[in-house]
């Protein structure tokens, strides 16, 4: 396990090719305004896992190896392991109010599922099974941080677009060499792209007849020709008072460009094999585990939303109104549904063929689907409770200026002073209204894929026959 200092040192040393707002970043990323908040917050996670009092939950060791490893690399084989994983994931998530979609455990977890299912990738004898096992072990030994890109650029989403990609927009293999494959084109959308040690790529969803798009690999973020093009930062100010959330948890998202990147064979674990891709979830449980991690985080996020709304209600004494109670009850219902689905997935977990205890996928799919729809409503509730309070939010500088007495008098709450009230409402604004907050909403809607297509897949794969039979039997039943 690494600590925060080691993580920052490593990222700064990589000198990844990161572009933002018209220029290529130079020097230490951890000292640049758009990135320093999130790097510091991630470093805090690594520090937290190293604290002696957290060792029991966050660390595991292996009898045949020296060293300790982070919880998310651990292969769960019992319900106790899964419970431990949930508790650790949530404890980390609480440090960021559930706002860090890409805390290191997200991708570590994915790599764990692939690493322990190595034989699945070894089917074609090209050593890909050994490769994924080695990549997993390398990540575990070095406690690497990883980002990923799983989708193609949004150039043309009509059916069959892949077959006319003559200008090479979506990343694909353009050459096969003795040393590896050469990738050209782009992928979306790497959250924290350029801010991690490595980049993991899996085939984009959808159908393609062209196997030049079928690959899975993991390479260092500073690989030659790899470029991360970031969107503008939504952290406009350093001040924790003014931007309580963005100043700490603005993750940045980036477009990933592969300019003839040579991916060495030893970094490739999947290549031109549609069957391996098609059976990957069944063999590894990777998406189920990613959903497990995400739902753990989302539960924490709703806990924070509930606490925040309760404090807002108290600050201006609106809890007595019926419709406010109704809205608070909506938040509580969301929290309880999400918690129940998470625990249901744990209780009904089953061992896969490689000995990994995989949570039951249906409750997690339901949770992810439900949350992508309900999250915008939770943000609406924040807006409805806060009303003008989310707009009358002077800055820290205002509170330190000669108008401070005006602010103290006119912005006080029922049982809270003006500065504390504005700080609280600024947090609500940063979650429900700011550019950072809007991006959070878009994240919860889409990060796991297009909710429309996920619903279609959910329905198509759900086994409805027992319920059809039940109704048929009911209809066929004659009076005795
Ligand atoms: C904030 C944020 C962070 C993200 N971070 C990551 C990340 O770290 N790594 C990563 O790999 N991805 C990431 N994503 C990408 C995410 O996986 C995609 O947004 C998601 O899969 C949807 O794809 P898309 O954005 O290309 O939308 P599109 O597929 O282009 O969809 C646009 C619209 O068209 C409709 N549509 C398109 N095709 C069809 C179809 N075949 N049938 C029906 N309707 C269709 C959709 O319903 C939608 O309304 C992130 C996204 C967001 C918003």
Q: Are 346 and 79 in contact (CB under 8 A)?
A: yes
Q: Do the domain assignments include residue 466?
A: no
**Do 154 and 191 share a domain, yes or no?**
yes
Burial 327-348 (b: 16+ CB within 10 A, else e): bbebbeebbebbbebbebbbee
Backbone angles phi, psi at 366, to 5 degrees: -60, -40
Looking at the fold, whether 144 and 79 belong to one and the same domain comes out as yes
Question: Do 72 and 14 sit in the same domain of this protein?
Answer: yes
Least confident of 76-90, 95-109, 199-213, 235-249: 199-213
Domain edge (last residue) among 221, 255, 278 = 278
Nearest to 290 by CA among 86, 110, 89: 110
Confidence of residue 163 (pLDDT cuts 50, 70, 90): low
The answer to whether 3 is a known ligand-binding residue is no
Span from the CA of 370 to the centroid of ligand 1 (angstroms): 17
Domain C-terminal end among 225, 256, 278: 278
Same-domain pairing of 243 and 357? no
- Indicate if 329 and 215 belong to the same structural domain: no
Please tell me if the CB atom of residue 310 comes closer than 6 angstroms to any atom of ligand 1: no
Please report whether residue 469 resides in a domain. no
Ligand 1 touching residue 148 (CB < 6 A): yes
What percentage of the chain carries pLDDT values higher than 90?
91
Q: Which residues contact 418 (CB under 8 A, 6 or more apart)?
A: 399, 407, 408, 409, 410, 411, 412
Asked, for residue 183, whether it belongs to a domain, the answer is yes
Instruction: From residue 109, give the alpha-carbon distance in Å to each of 97, 216, 460.
Output: 20, 16, 27
- As a residue count, the chain comes to 480
* Tens-place pLDDT, residues 361-394: 999 999 999 999 999 999 999 999 999 999 999 9
- Domain match, 321 and 250 both: no
The residue out of 246, 278, 310 marking a domain boundary is 278
Which structure tokens are listed for 107?
A: 């991708």
CA–CA distance, 453 with 443 (Å, rounded to integer): 16
Q: Is residue 351 part of a domain?
A: yes
Same-domain pairing of 308 and 227: no
Please report, for the domain that includes residue 47, its CATH number. 2.40.110.10
**450 assigned to a ligand binding site:** yes
Ligand 1 centroid to residue 249 C-alpha, Å? 22
Indicate whether 330 and 443 sit together in one domain. yes
Confidence band of 165 (pLDDT split at 50, 70, 90): low
Structure confidence at residue 95 (pLDDT): 98
Q: Say if residue 244 is in the same domain as residue 344.
A: no
Atom of ligand 1 nearest to the CA of 149: 11
Does any ligand 1 atom lie closer than 6 A to the CB of residue 19? no
Give yes or no for residue 124 having a pLDDT over 90: no
pLDDT, tens only, 394-440: 999 999 999 999 999 999 999 999 999 999 999 999 999 999 999 99
For ligand 1, whether the C-beta of 442 sits within 6 Å is yes
**Ligand 1 centroid from CA 97, angstroms:** 24
Verify that 274 and 329 share a domain, yes or no. no
Q: Residue 234 is part of which domain span?
A: 4-278
Question: Does a structural domain hold residue 152?
Answer: yes
Does 52 count as an annotated binding residue?
no
Q: Is 459 within the bounds of a domain?
A: no
Specify whether 406 is located in the same domain as 440: yes
Q: Is the CB of 251 under 6 A from ligand 1?
A: no
User: Would 480 be classed as within a structural domain?
Assistant: no
Question: Who has greater pLDDT, 479 or 408?
Answer: 408
pLDDT level of residue 157 (50, 70, 90 thresholds): confident
User: Is there a domain that residue 461 lies in?
Assistant: no
Tokens of residue 399, six digits: 């509170």
With a 6 A CB cut-off, is 191 part of the ligand 1 pocket? Answer: yes
pLDDT of res. 61: 86
At residue 25 the predicted structure's pLDDT band, cuts being 50, 70 and 90, is very high
452 in a labelled binding site: yes
Shared-domain flag, residues 318 and 216: no
Are 191 and 251 spatial neighbours (Cβ–Cβ below 8 Å)? yes
Domain count across the chain: 2
Instruction: Identify the three-state secondary structure at position 380.
Output: helix
């Amino acid at each position: 396990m690494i600590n925060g200092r080691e993580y920052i040192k490593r990222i700064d040393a990589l000198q990844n090719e990161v572009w933002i707002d018209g220029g290529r970043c130079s020097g230490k990323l951890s000292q640049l305004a758009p990135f320093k908040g999130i790097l510091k917050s991630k470093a805090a996670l690594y520090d937290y896992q190293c604290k002696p009092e957290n060792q029991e939950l966050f660390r595991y060791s292996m009898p045949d190896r020296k060293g300790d490893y982070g919880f998310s690399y651990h292969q769960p084989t019992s319900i106790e392991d899964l419970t431990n994983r949930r508790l650790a994931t949530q404890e980390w998530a609480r440090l960021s109010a559930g706002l860090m979609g890409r805390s290191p455990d997200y991708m570590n977890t994915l790599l764990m599922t692939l690493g322990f299912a190595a034989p699945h990738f070894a089917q074609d004898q090209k050593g890909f099974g050994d490769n994924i096992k080695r990549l997993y072990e390398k990540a575990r030994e070095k406690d690497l941080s990883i980002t990923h890109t799983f989708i193609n650029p949004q150039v043309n989403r009509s059916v069959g677009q892949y077959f006319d990609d003559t200008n090479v927009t979506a990343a694909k293999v353009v050459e096969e060499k003795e040393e590896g494959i050469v990738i050209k084109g782009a992928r979306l959308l790497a959250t924290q792209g350029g801010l991690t040690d490595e980049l993991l790529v899996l085939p984009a969803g959808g159908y393609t007849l062209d196997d030049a798009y079928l690959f899975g690999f993991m390479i260092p973020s500073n690989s030659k020709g790899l470029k991360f093009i970031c969107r503008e930062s939504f952290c406009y100010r350093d001040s924790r008072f003014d931007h309580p959330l963005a100043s700490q948890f603005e993750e940045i998202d980036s477009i990933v460009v592969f300019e003839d990147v040579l991916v060495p064979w030893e970094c490739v674990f999947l290549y031109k094999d549609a069957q391996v891709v098609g059976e990957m979830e069944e063999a590894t449980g990777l998406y189920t585990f990613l959903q497990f991690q995400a739902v753990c985080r989302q539960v924490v996020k709703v806990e924070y939303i509930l606490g925040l709304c309760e404090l807002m209600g108290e600050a201006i004494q609106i809890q007595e109104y019926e419709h406010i109670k109704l809205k608070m009850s909506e938040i509580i219902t969301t929290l309880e549904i999400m918690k129940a689905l998470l625990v249901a997935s744990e209780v009904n977990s089953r061992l896969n063929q490689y000995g990994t205890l995989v949570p039951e996928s249906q409750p997690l799919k339901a949770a992810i689907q439900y949350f992508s729809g309900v999250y915008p409503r939770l943000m609406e509730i924040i807006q409805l409770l806060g009303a003008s309070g989310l707009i009358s939010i002077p800055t820290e500088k205002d509170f330190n200026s000669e108008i401070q007495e005006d602010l103290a008098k006119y912005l006080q709450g029922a049982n809270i002073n003006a500065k504390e009230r504005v700080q609280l409402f600024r947090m609500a604004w940063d979650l429900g209204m700011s550019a950072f907050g809007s991006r959070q909403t878009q994240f919860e809607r889409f990060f796991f894929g297009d909710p429309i297509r996920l619903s279609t897949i959910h329905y198509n794969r759900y086994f409805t026959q027992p319920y059809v039979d039940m109704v048929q039997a009911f209809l066929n039943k004659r009076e005795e």
